[in-house]
């Protein structure tokens, strides 16, 4: 068993206009039996949030991979998020490195585990054709408040299950087109899943089309992986 992965990322209009680096980062590691993915979205107002996003995503994925033999599957995501936060807090001026972080672990047998801090999100594509949303933002949380890994206290949200055929990870740039009433919009995600399964998914083309419709308003990243 192995996996097919698809990645795309684009700067938001303000960042493109002003030459500001893309503050989204996707990072992953895969084996024959496991795919570990993470997306981090750096806070736009912070000086080093692009670096913080990379540190968090890479540290999270690395920590999970290194813990595979010793930590139960359902506890691995928590280990990754702890490592991502620690990577940011290790900086002397850590508050300038803040980002969100969401990650997924997908096993070849269909088991999955996901979790996150902040408004990046994961969508688990299930065997029955449905899609399960996992986000670090609690339902009812104030829309203008985003929890970062560098917040005084973080409140990660976790979920796990089985029967997955793939997953997608995204920064909040896709929220307006991909989520509806805090649920994964099937009209959007059916297409993502189907194109990933048949090898025709082109994330950069999708983003170009959305940008032409003025639907890209912030840095936007999508990482999709499906079982082959």
Q: What is the pLDDT along the chain (228 residues), one digit of tens a residue?
A: 699 999 999 999 888 888 888 999 999 999 999 999 999 999 988 999 999 999 999 999 999 999 999 999 999 999 999 999 999 999 999 999 999 999 999 999 999 999 999 999 999 999 999 999 999 875 444 445 689 999 988 999 999 999 999 999 999 999 999 998 789 999 999 999 999 999 999 999 999 999 999 999 999 999 999 999
Question: Please, are residues 125 and 166 in contact by the beta-carbon 8 Å criterion?
Answer: yes
**Domain spans, the chain:** 3-227
pLDDT (0 to 100) of residue 138:
58
Look at residues 199, 198, 167, 224 and name the one whose alpha carbon lies nearest to residue 7.
Answer: 224
Fold classification of 3-227 (topology level): Phosphatase 2c; domain 1 (3.60.40)
Question: Please, are residues 118 and 136 in contact by the beta-carbon 8 Å criterion?
Answer: yes
Look at residues 91, 28, 25 and name the one whose alpha carbon lies nearest to residue 61.
Answer: 28
């995600």: which residue's tokens? Answer: 189
pLDDT (0 to 100) of residue 141:
45
Spatial distance between the Cα atoms of 94 and 91, rounded to a whole number of angstroms:
5
Look at residues 103, 89, 8 and name the one whose alpha carbon lies nearest to residue 60.
Answer: 103
Question: Please, are residues 120 and 90 in contact by the beta-carbon 8 Å criterion?
Answer: no
DSSP-based three-state secondary structure for 32:
coil
Spatial distance between the Cα atoms of 200 and 54, rounded to a whole number of angstroms:
28
For residue 122, what are the β-bridge partners?
A: 134, 169
pLDDT (0 to 100) of residue 144:
53
Look at residues 78, 66, 79, 74 and name the one whose alpha carbon lies nearest to residue 31.
Answer: 66
For residue 220, what are the β-bridge partners?
A: 10
Question: Please, are residues 72 and 82 in contact by the beta-carbon 8 Å criterion?
Answer: no
pLDDT (0 to 100) of residue 10:
95
pLDDT (0 to 100) of residue 146:
82
Residue 173's alpha-carbon distances to 107, 112, 212, in angstroms, are: 27, 24, 15
pLDDT (0 to 100) of residue 44:
84
* 183 alpha-carbon distance from chain centroid: 16
Question: Please, are residues 220 and 207 in contact by the beta-carbon 8 Å criterion?
Answer: yes
């Amino acid at each position: 068993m192995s996996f097919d992965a698809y990645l795309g990322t684009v700067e938001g209009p303000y960042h493109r206009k002003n030459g500001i680096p893309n503050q989204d980062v996707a990072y992953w590691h895969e084996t024959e039996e496991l795919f570990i993915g993470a997306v981090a979205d750096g806070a736009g107002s912070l000086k080093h949030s692009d670096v913080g996003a990379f540190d968090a995503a890479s540290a999270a994925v690395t920590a999970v991979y290194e813990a595979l033999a010793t930590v139960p599957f359902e506890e691995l995501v928590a280990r990754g998020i702890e490592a991502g936060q620690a990577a940011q807090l290790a900086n002397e001026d850590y508050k300038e490195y803040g980002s969100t972080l969401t990650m997924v672990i997908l096993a070849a047998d269909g088991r999955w585990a996901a979790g996150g801090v902040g408004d990046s999100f994961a969508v688990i594509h299930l065997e029955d054709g449905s899609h399960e949303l996992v986000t670090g933002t609690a339902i009812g949380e104030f829309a203008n408040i985003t929890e970062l890994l560098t917040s005084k206290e973080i409140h990660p949200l976790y979920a796990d299950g089985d029967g997955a055929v793939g997953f997608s990870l995204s920064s909040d740039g896709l929220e307006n087109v991909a989520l509806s009433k805090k649920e994964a919009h099937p009209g959007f995600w059916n297409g993502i899943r189907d194109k990933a399964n048949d090898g025709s998914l082109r994330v950069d083309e999708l983003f170009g089309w959305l940008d032409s419709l003025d639907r890209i308003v912030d840095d936007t990243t999508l990482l999709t992986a499906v079982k082959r």
